[in-house]
Amino acid sequence: MTQLVLFSLPVIAGLFIKSKDKDMSSNTQHILQTMSFYSILFFLAVNASFDFSKPLSKGYLITDKAISTEEKMDSDGYSEITNYQFKTIPKEKMNPVPFWKHISAAEHADIYPKADRYNPSKVFLNIQNKKYEILARKFKIIRDKNNDGYLRLYYLKEYTKPDVMNVSRKTYNQFGKGDYLDIETYSGLFGLEWTYNHWKHNH
């Protein structure tokens, strides 16, 4: 509700100024419109500067970094934009506990190892919509009157797909794989949430 009121004020002020254009000079109108716009910036500055609430913090690990380019078309023609990106995963998912799992070849014929397209040295299993990296494997032959086949025994570690985060060129050059990011979310003096990114080197 606070956000709606905040961003509605300049619109209301602009409509009011326009309705009074006969009574105001163009210079006065321009000054008032500029003031109504900067009032938002002032409000946001006060909202953050005098917010002494305890933040909610969530940590991330940078697993990789990459640079990509894309073309953008505007009135001046084509231009090339460079994107600086970090791949991150939440800290709580950094070190999943590996475990052994038996998989019957007869009962789970649809579950089989797949090599990663970008890193063929890593092999994965997809089980119930979750992806696991295979760290080791064993096979056990089963022969009895009720079952004839073999068990596949895998040592698995749950895989977390990294999130892609766009950052500035300066941040990209300062930090990299193995470093950390803590995103602190504050409630705001006027109830407008704001965040602060705290980057940390892995020393």
Q: Is the pTM of this model over 0.75?
A: no
Local structure of 65: helix, strand or coil: strand
∠ Cα 98 101 106 (to 5°): 155
∠ Cα 82 85 86 (to 5°): 165
- How far is Cα 74 from Cα 92, in angstroms, rounded to an integer? 42
- How far is Cα 88 from Cα 85, in angstroms, rounded to an integer? 10
∠ Cα 59 64 67 (to 5°): 120
In a structure prediction context, what are the per-residue pLDDT tens digits for the chain, which is 203 residues long? Answer: 455 555 555 555 555 555 555 555 666 666 666 766 677 777 777 777 777 888 888 899 999 999 998 888 777 778 888 999 999 999 888 888 999 988 876 667 678 788 888 778 889 988 888 899 999 988 766 555 455 556 788 899 999 989 999 999 999 999 999 999 998 888 887 777 888 888 888 86
